A and B are shown apart, each in its own frame.
Chain A
Amino acid sequence: MEFAELIKTPRVDNVVLHRPFYPAVEGTLCLTGHHLILSSRQDNTEELWLLHSNIDAIDKRFVGSLGTIIIKCKDFRIIQLDIPGMEECLNIASSIETSQWRLSYVNKEFAVCPTYPPIVIVPESIDDETLRKVATFRHGGRFPVLSYYHQKSKRVIMRSGQPLTGTNGRRCKEDEKLINATLRAGSRGYIIDTRSLNVAQQARAKGGGFEQEAHYPQWRRIHKSIERYHILQESLIKLVEACNDQTHNMDRWLSKLEASNWLTHIKEILTAACLVAQCIDREEASVLIHGTEGTDSTLQVTSLAQIILEPRSRTIRGFEALIEREWLQAGHPFQQRCAQSAYCNTKQKWEAPVFLLFLDCVWQILRQFPCSFEFNENFLIMLFEHAYASQFGTFLGNSESERCKLKLQQKTMSLWSWVNQPSKLSKYTNPLFEANNLVIWPSVAPQSLLLWEGIFLRWNRSSKYLDEAYEEMVNIIEYNKELQAKVNILRRQLAELETEDEMQESP
């Protein structure tokens, strides 16, 4: 990508430049493909021409809507730009900051990590050889990779498998180097371990473990326990059982709902995702997330954090991309997890409603921000159905490498190509959608979390009246659009008639 393509705001007026030995100059700031230029546009004042390649580091600060960028140059010079307008300042800053990330093809043959895709994003300064070494130190070869880059704060979410420290506290310099490369000098990051401290400690006996403070002094580790495997599966079985029995009296229903623990899991997952989003957006700190394998709770957290932080992931295409990236490519074992659902009596092995819990969490956020998503509840239900049984190849297999071996791309159809047909999309589009560029913070209080009736009560009670009400809502919105269009046409028509009249009057 050319640098010029990164320039979002090429020109800002009323920028004040402070530099050593010169009085402050007010002028216009321009960004070109190679230079940052500040000119007062007066004949006798010197202009500033700064090569982008001379920029070593930048800092930004805000006082009200006035932003300040401090540019530290490779020749040790430090200059300061006061830029009116928060957005302009952020745009300028993001344009002149240089990329610290690169694509790596180290896993091209799926040799380094069988559950990773062939292409991953890693810090610019880390070479493939280092990645190979780090892979041996992380569970399943899942070395830390970029999951999400937050434009606003320039912080990142990374994910990985657990470090294989074992009982004797093995360390890996390359691993430390890799994740430290994502931090800027002096800043700290957070490691979110999706297991309780206890579970993480126990994992050491099996060769796993967690990052020791001594070896990762720039990182603060937080344990946010999220349940896994059979516990989740049992929770699902209990919940479905409770929902299916219409004879329960109120006490029994409430106690069954409670005993299923489903909403507790929802709350745990959402809380962890909010914590990550908070680190990124409020704390301006980067985050590394892992549990044991890094293929389940890790993905729930990274993907939900993106729903909270990133407006694009709340659009239909953006959400599809999120699932493709954070679930399919990231190696969530759909085949194993979704082999059986709530009714199967045979002994469960790998089944767990990890993806359904994720969808439920998205639904909870959707309920709280009903206008911020381009898709509606039906879209989530459709994805749930296809994850468990589908005529498309999208959710088959447990990883990219399996899907490659199965030649799914040649032999099956993609769910996305079917769903993205305009005729199909209309059913999944949220009529209330209005792009919301803000971070959306959901409430995770138990009073705010609801049972997802569209999934769990779907076959137990008629939703006729609710569906009709939804249709009526759509009608009102459609009618509104129609009326707006008609008013505009009539206005134009009237304006034309008026001009005609005027023309006739003033020959």
Chain B
Amino acid sequence: MEHIRTTKVEQVKLLDRFATNNKSLTGTLYLTATHLLFIDSLQKETWILHHHIASVEKLALTTSGCPLVIQCKNFRIVHFIVPRERDCHDIYNSLLQLSKQAKYEDLYAFSYNPKQNDSERLQGWQLIDLAEEYKRMGVPNSHWELSDANQEYKICETYPRELYVPWTAKKTVIVGSSKFRSKGRFPVLSYYHQDKKAAICRCSQPLSGFSARCMEDERLLEAISKANPVNCYMYVVDTRPKHRIQSWWATQKDIGRIIVRTSSKIRNDEKIRESNEKKRLNAMANRAAGKGYENEDNYSSIRFQFVGIENIHVMRSSLQKLLEVNGTKGLSVNDFYSGLESSGWLRHIKAVMDAAIFLARAIMVENASVLVHCSDGWDRTSQVCSLGSLLLDSYYRTIRGFMVLIEKDWISFGHKFSERCGHLDGDPKEVSPVFTQFLECVWHLTEQFPQAFEFNEAFLLQIHEHIHSCQFGNFLGNCQKEREELKLKEKTYSLWPFLLEDQKKYLNPLYSSKSHRFIVLEPNTVSFNFKFWRNMYHQFDQTLHPRQSVFNIIMNMNEQNKQLEKDIKDLESKIKQRKNKQTDDILTKELLHSVHPESPTLKTSLCFKEQTRLPVNDSLRTIEGSSPADNRYSEYAEEFSKSEPAVVSLEYGVARMTC
């Protein structure tokens, strides 16, 4: 609280982000310990969690006041005008402090209290059990076993304690391999395909110099490929683009001017790009740099494959460009598409998707195991392994399965959530939308396979909200070891039970769990299948959304159908009772005329109650933004007529018209 100098400012204006004519709402701005709150004159509340704030900007003073622009990690952008510069300055400074915490203990999760007792809290944390998950996959088995090598985080700090490796891999092999791999992240099991007996494994890049070999590493890879009794070769997938490994390491280590020269020469020459010569030189460059990828000569029975996903820095600036374009007022169609193109965002999404498809195909078609790595094996590797598993296994397309998938491939294997999401005031170069891209890939799959997922878009958006909210403990820290040290399970709550409790909101009404065709998804990745995810990047810009949601209607109707089915059962049993009673009555009457049957009034009243409970079909279909009261165009009529001579402005996102 010591950062808050002003807690309340009145007469603040909230500008409409896309209106061309400075349309605004006036209201009061409140600053609390955790949120920024704006209540407009219609009593509509806008809550912004401090942790969601990505940047605060104070613009030059205008006649109406001091503009304050807040960009959020969930892509909300708010533009306030504070009447007095002093107030604006105070709020600006407070927000700067509050949005960037230095210590984990200052994050919201450590003060958030959803009124649960300790055992409920613990239960929540135990909801997702990865040991159970590996059991479900079918390990340990005759080929794979649980290794205790990392029990004390001694071999790899960023891996979980429990790791699955081929049973033939002895501890010395593991230790040796880990020394040969960046950050000690040696090859371990990520997903086991029970039918095909093939595995998805993950690791970081090898530290192979010009001639350096690591026998243990070679043996571990051999053990992995032998663990697949069906196929004798395995794929090693390097998720990085070929040319980048080379140039990056060359500049990083500043070794071998020759390498730099040859490589740049080659890069200039597009035609040779794919030639064998280039491949050879590339490999040389990488190995000379001391890090790189596996030499096919040294490893028996591996097939090496690049899939070309860009690094975190490229992804960060790509998203930045995308958001810049989309934030433009009066954006033209051409600017939108050329911005979309030059941002490269969809190209990156497609690259991730293609890599995942490669994995799924290797396992389904060739029955081959796959080892995936990038540089450190916690960004691109997590994307590709998790998405590949999602394509292969329909379990991960259920609500609970998706939580398990995130826990396994992202949280437990050390995707650096706190650094990538910028939870603490740290290096901005570590921030990158890697997980957001994963969610977007899943969204694209839900678009292509509308019946394959148990969850809906709202579920993805909600998860995205919480990777940044710091409200729950799941995504805090950068690896399991760090999380244990922070005692998150004792001090914070897990997100998953809260999502499960609200499950109804996240169900896909069209989900078809019965159909077996969906066991493997084979998405089409022709470019035209990739669309801009409006509901993510414009989730708070309601005016850009469809005004009626088919999805909500069907969801409500599904709910209603369940209720109706129940009502029918109730009614049928009541009718049956009645009928039985009537026959009984007749019998009774015939036998004992003097005895009165039970009064029926009680049941009648019950029945009426039910009648009122039945939802009316009409009420299900709301037309958002279309009633004259909340239609945002209504205010414009006035302005339209006022702007007499030259310019007429239209508000639905666009146009200026001149006579």
Residues of A within 8 A of B (CB): 197, 220-224, 243, 246, 248-255, 257-258, 261, 263-264, 266-267, 271, 274-275, 278, 282-283, 367-372, 432, 434, 436, 438-451, 457, 460-462, 465-466, 468-469, 472-473, 476-477, 479-480, 483-484, 486-487, 490-491, 493-495, 497-498, 500-502, 504-505
Interchain CB contact (< 8 A) of A442 among B607, B648, B652: B652
Check if B568 sits within 8 Å of A483, measured CB to CB: yes
6 tightest A-B contacts by CB?
A: A445-B653, A282-B637, A258-B337, A253-B527, A446-B336, A469-B450
> Total A-B residue pairs with C-beta atoms closer than 8 Å?
245
From A197, A255, A258, name the one whose CB has the most chain B CB atoms within 10 angstroms.
Answer: A258
Q: For residue B634, which residue of chain A has the nearest CB? A: A282
CA distance A439 to B637 in the complex (A): 14
Among B341, B528, B581, which residue has its beta carbon within 8 angstroms of that of A243? B528
> Which of A197, A266, A368, A441 has the most chain B CB atoms inside 10 A of its CB?
A441
User: Is B123 in contact with chain A by the CB < 8 A criterion?
Assistant: no
| Structural contact, B530 and A250, CB atoms closer than 8 A | yes
Q: How far is the CA of A331 from the CA of B526 in the complex (A)?
A: 41
Residues 584-643 of B contacting A (Cβ, < 8 Å)? 585, 596-597, 599-600, 603-604, 607, 611, 614, 617-618, 621, 623, 625-628, 631, 633-634, 636-637, 640-641
**Contact residues in A for B640 (Cβ distance below 8 Å):** 278, 282-283
When distances are taken between beta carbons in the complex, the residues of chain A under 8 Å from B628 are: 438
- Interface of chain A, main secondary structure: helix
**Nearest residue, chain A, Cβ from B534:** A447
Between A and B, 16 residue pairs with Cβ closer than 8 Å are: A197-B658, A257-B337, A257-B528, A267-B333, A267-B654, A274-B650, A278-B650, A457-B528, A465-B451, A473-B510, A476-B557, A483-B568, A486-B564, A487-B614, A500-B582, A501-B582
If the complex has contacts A447-B336, A461-B526, A476-B557, are A434 and B657 also in contact, measured as CB distance less than 8 A?
Answer: no
**Contact between B564 and A484 (Cβ–Cβ < 8 Å)?**
yes
B565 close to A483 (CB less than 8 A): yes
Q: Is the CB of A248 within 8 A of B534?
A: no
Chain B residue at minimal CB-CB distance from A446? B336
Interchain nearest-CB distance for A106 vs B (Å): 32
Shortest beta-carbon distance from A107 to chain B in Å: 32
Q: How far is it, in angstroms, between the C-alpha of A432 and the C-alpha of B18 when the chains are bound?
A: 30
What A residues does B524 contact at CB under 8 A?
Answer: 461-462
- The answer on a CB contact under 8 Å between B561 and A480 is yes
Q: Which of B100-108, B153-161, B357-365, B569-577 contacts A (4 or more CB under 8 A)?
A: B569-577
Closest to A370 in B: B550
Q: Chain B's nearest CB lies how many Å from the CB of A197?
A: 8
Let me know if A249 and B561 touch, CB within 8 A.
no
Q: Does B273 contact A (CB under 8 A)?
A: no
Instruction: Report if A371-B553 is in contact (Cβ < 8 Å); known contacts: A445-B654, A447-B534, A493-B575.
Output: yes
* A220 nearest CB neighbor, chain B only: B659
User: When the two chains form their complex, are residues B575 and A490 in contact, meaning their CB atoms are under 8 A apart?
Assistant: yes
Q: A444-B655, A493-B575 are in contact. Are A282 and B636 (CB under 8 A)?
A: yes
B residues in contact with A222, CB < 8 Å: 648, 657, 659
Contact B574 A494 (CB under 8 A): yes
- Residues of chain A within 8 A of B653, CB atoms compared: 443-445, 447-448
Residues of A within 8 A of B652 (CB): 274, 441-445
Contact partner, A466, options B334, B341, B450, B657, Cβ 8 Å: B450
**Chain B nearest Cβ from A315, distance in angstroms:** 16
The total of chain B residues at the interface (CB under 8 A) is: 94
Verify B534–A434 contact, CB threshold 8 A. no
Chain A: minimal CB distance from B203 (Å) = 29
> A197, A220, A480: which has the most chain B beta carbons within 10 Å?
A480
Binary contact track B325-364/A, C-beta < 8 Å → 1, others 0: 0100001111111101100101100100000000000000
Give the complex CA separation of A451 and B340 in angstroms. 15
Q: Are A445 and B331 in contact (CB under 8 A)?
A: yes
B578 cross-chain contacts in A, Cβ below 8 A? 494, 497-498, 501
Q: B509 contacts the other chain (Cβ, under 8 Å)?
A: yes
A261 to B334 alpha-carbon distance, docked (Å): 7
Given contacts A472-B451, A480-B557, contact A249 B347 (CB under 8 A): yes
Selected from A221, A250, A252, A487, the residue in CB contact (under 8 A) with B571 is A487
Residue among A254, A274, A442 making CB contact with B341, cutoff 8 Å: A254
Which partner residue on chain B sits nearest A266 by CB separation? B333
B267 within 8 A of A: no
Q: A282-B633, A434-B621 are in contact. Are A447 and B527 (CB under 8 A)?
A: no
Nearest Cβ distance between residue A112 and chain B, in whole angstroms? 31
Task: Judge whether B173 is part of the interface by a CB distance below 8 angstroms.
Answer: no
Bound together, the chains give a CA A141 to CA B546 distance in angstroms of 41
Query: Which A residue sits closest to B345, measured CB to CB?
Result: A250
Residues of A within 8 A of B621 (CB): 371, 432, 434
In the complex, A490→B574 CA distance in Å?
Answer: 10
Rounded to whole Å, the gap between the CB of B179 and the closest CB of chain A is: 40
Are A255 and B338 neighbours in the complex by a CB distance under 8 Å?
Answer: yes
Nearest B residue (CB) for A255: B341
